[in-house]
Amino acid sequence: MERRDIVIVGGGHSGAHAAAGLRHLGYAGTVAIVCEEPDLPYERPALSKDYLAGEKAFERLLMHTGAFWEERHVELLLNRHVASVDAEAHSIRLSSGDDLGYGSLIWATGGRPRPLTCAGYDLKGVHPVRTRSDVDRMRLELETVLRVAVIGGGYIGLEAASVLRKLGKRVVLLEALDRVLARVAGPEVSRFYEAEHRAHGVDLRTGVKVDCILGEGGRVSGVRLHDGEVVDADMVIVGIGIIPAVEPLIAAGATGRNGIQVDEECRTNLRDVYAIGDCALHSNRYAAGAMVRLECVQNANDQAMVVAKRLAGQPAVYDAVPWFWSNQYDLKLQTIGLSLGHDQTVLRGDPATRRFSVIYLRQGRVIALDCVNAVKDYVQGRKLVIEGWAADPAALRDTGSQLKDIASWDRAPTPVADRVG
């Protein structure tokens, strides 16, 4: 059996960043990335933004050129699915039946789009949005499609809706909960984005449940809702979250269910096995120590560097502040921190001006900000979140003062470590 010093399963953001990081740090052992996708590692965020819009060529999504990987002797084993792991023997088995041994294994498999479970989920014209090939298929069909139903009012569904409106499509967005972005943002942000989408011509509906997908001749023709109404559609885009791609590692004995449980060094309970990125369930100090999985590029990259450093012989622990962005129409949403468990929100600025921030507090301390077209708040609010400042809500609300000034005159911050529950 062939063997590599480090085998990375998954060539997405975290896997590729770990490999590049290892070489950057001078790691000299053999490194292989095994990935089921056929493409060189690429950046996913553009898939629901400029790539879907046809405004960015795929080559511009690549994290690095083929030459970059060759020069650094990172072996890319693409189009290969890892079916199982033997943690005792330190080896993985590919679907082809081939085995590959490892010294250390980095599990960086992200997640698969959560599929619809209702009748008609597999009709032609029903699309997830996770990979380049998902979006390529969608773009081909969009040449002839006019009516699109988007199921799910999370970031991906909303971003896709905004691109589709720009392309002149008729868009209905169906969200089961009573507001969009309910999982990640406060009501002020949800209401703002609902109004924006409606103003841009999206027929956005909340609190609606999908009964089934209807079809004609094997292709989608509409979506039937629980109340019996039929929404006509030539295409359905499904953005209802992901399921971490962890079955082979769980079967090998890794702890976890909704993700692989890791410690602050991204180590799993299996010897020499690490997990990073969307599939890594970790205790996050910005969520008061709660076990969370973060689905963002920041987390993927930062966890990748923790493991790269450790394997290159440098100490490292994961304690990065989470941040995220979303582009819809001419709106840039930037989030810093995690609003999970907030008990108070402060609205800073007027949503009617399309420039405002929502500041989330827990027990009087700033834990997160959602900033819409408000870059300065995002940049300055970062300090409040990282240092855990207690701040007077009236001062936070006052757009006449800057957040950086609040940080300098308010009560001294509590060290972050003391806030972890």
How many angstroms separate the Cα of 132 from the Cα of each of 43, 90, 290, 369?
A: 9, 31, 33, 31
- Residues contacting residue 71 through CB under 8 Å, at least 6 positions apart: none
User: Is residue 156 involved in binding ligand FAD (CB under 6 A)?
Assistant: yes
What SS3 class is residue 325? Answer: strand
Interatomic CA distance for residues 166 and 176, integer angstroms? 24
- Closest to ligand FAD by CB, 47 or 204: 47
> In whole angstroms, how close is the CB of 322 to ligand FAD at the nearest point?
9
Identify whether the C-beta of residue 278 lies closer than 8 Å to the C-beta of residue 130. Answer: no
Window 28-57: residues binding ligand FAD (CB under 6 A): 34-37, 44-45, 47-48
User: Is residue 301 involved in binding ligand FAD (CB under 6 A)?
Assistant: no
Indicate the Cα dihedral angle 81, 48, 358, 317, nearest 10°.
30
User: Is residue 261 involved in binding ligand FAD (CB under 6 A)?
Assistant: no
Q: Which stretch binds ligand FAD (CB under 6 A): 139-147, 210-218, 294-302, 365-373?
A: 294-302
Strands 331-337 and 323-328: antiparallel
- Residues contacting residue 238 through CB under 8 Å, at least 6 positions apart: 113, 114, 115, 116, 126, 127, 128, 129, 151, 152
Among candidate residues 210, 193, 216, 228, the one with its CA nearest the CA of residue 149: 210
> In whole angstroms, how close is the CB of 76 to ligand FAD at the nearest point?
12
User: Is residue 10 involved in binding ligand FAD (CB under 6 A)?
Assistant: yes
Residue nearest to ligand FAD (CB): 12
Q: Which stretch binds ligand FAD (CB under 6 A): 67-75, 102-110, 215-223, 391-399?
A: 102-110
227 to 256: interface string for ligand FAD, x by CB under 6 A: ------------------x--x--------
Identify whether the C-beta of residue 340 lies closer than 8 Å to the C-beta of residue 182. Answer: no
Q: Which stretch binds ligand FAD (CB under 6 A): 56-64, 264-272, 324-332, 345-353?
A: 324-332
- Closest to ligand FAD by CB, 280 or 361: 280
**Number of residues lying near ligand FAD (CB under 6 A):** 35
Is 339 buried (19+), middle (13-18) or exposed (0-12) by CB count in 10 A?
A: buried
Choose, by CB under 6 A, the member of 4, 6, 7, 12 that binds ligand FAD: 12
Residues of this chain that interact with ligand FAD (CB under 6 A) are 9-15, 34-37, 44-45, 47-48, 81-82, 108-110, 129-130, 156, 245, 248, 277-278, 295-298, 300, 324-326
